[in-house]
């Protein structure tokens, strides 16, 4: 369980007024805050975090419209520290948060402390159990073995024989192809696997 008091203390520094924004720390950032707290209780890493987020931002802006707009506004802020603080908080919410309101942005990237890079939200996920970010096109977490697996997504787990969601989807797609070949109308029911092959369940 994440330390609520730690998040309550640290997140307003990064995100601003949390309840009004409906934003929370993403899994990778929450884990990183806990790691820093163990090493240096009460210490601040905010300047270091901003440097990490800014390191490759020019390159990221080429593919991310939200960050390109953020950088354009930054150039117009002048010397007003309050404006800079609010502007930085948007960057922190975007890169380190989740559950952002629609008015903030539809977040498509996040900053991973595991890789030290901005990552695509649709490709990278932080595993709470293994406490690391992984490419979900190459890796999956086996709930039985309690480990992230890097073998083929479409093959059963070598430890227990369990399957990934991607593997399960392939199976469902295959059932759909069989149904089409057999002339079944998928709109009339849900196809599922059974020990005897394909069966149709009324929905």
Question: Is the backbone of residue 105 left (phi > 0), alpha (psi -120 to 50) or beta?
Answer: left
pLDDT for position 5:
84
10-residue averages of pLDDT along the chain (203 residues):
74 77 86 92 88 89 88 86 90 87 64 94 86 84 78 72 56 47 46 36 35
Helix axes 46-54, 81-96, angle to 10 degrees: 70
Residue 141's DSSP bridge partners are 148
Q: Distance between CA 112 and CA 52 in Å, rounded? A: 10
Q: What is the pLDDT of residue 183?
A: 52
> Could you give the 3-state DSSP secondary structure of residue 120?
strand
Q: Residue 201: what pLDDT?
A: 35
How many other C-beta atoms can be found within 10 angstroms of the C-beta atom of residue 160?
A: 14
The residues near 139 (Cβ < 8 Å, ≥ 6 apart) are: 148, 149, 150, 153
Q: Please tell me the predicted confidence (pLDDT) of residue 3.
A: 61
Of 48, 53, 87, 92, nearest to 70 by C-alpha is 87
The span from the CA of 170 to the CA of 189, in Å, is 19
Q: Is 24 in a helix, a strand, or coil?
A: strand
Q: How many Cβ atoms sit within 10 Å of the Cβ of residue 98?
A: 16
pLDDT the model gives residue 8 = 85
């Amino acid at each position: 369980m994440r330390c609520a008091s730690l998040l309550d203390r640290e997140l307003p520094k990064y995100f601003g007024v949390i309840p009004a924004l409906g934003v929370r720390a993403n899994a990778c950032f929450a884990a990183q805050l806990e790691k820093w707290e163990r090493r240096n209780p009460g210490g601040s890493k905010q300047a270091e975090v901003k440097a990490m987020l800014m390191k490759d931002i020019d390159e990221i802006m080429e593919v991310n419209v939200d960050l390109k707009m953020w950088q354009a506004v930054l150039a117009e802020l002048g010397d007003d520290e309050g404006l800079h603080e609010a502007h930085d908080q948007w960057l922190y919410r975007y890169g380190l948060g989740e559950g952002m309101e629609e008015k903030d942005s539809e977040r498509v990237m996040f900053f991973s402390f595991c890789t030290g890079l901005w990552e695509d939200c649709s490709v990278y996920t932080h595993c709470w159990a293994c406490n690391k970010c992984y490419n979900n096109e190459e890796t999956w977490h086996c709930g039985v073995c309690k480990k992230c697996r890097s073998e083929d997504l479409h093959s059963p787990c070598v430890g227990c024989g369990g399957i990934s969601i991607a593997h399960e989807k392939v199976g469902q797609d295959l059932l759909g192809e069989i149904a089409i070949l057999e002339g079944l109308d998928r709109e009339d029911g849900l196809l599922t696997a059974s020990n005897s092959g394909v069966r149709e369940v009324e929905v």
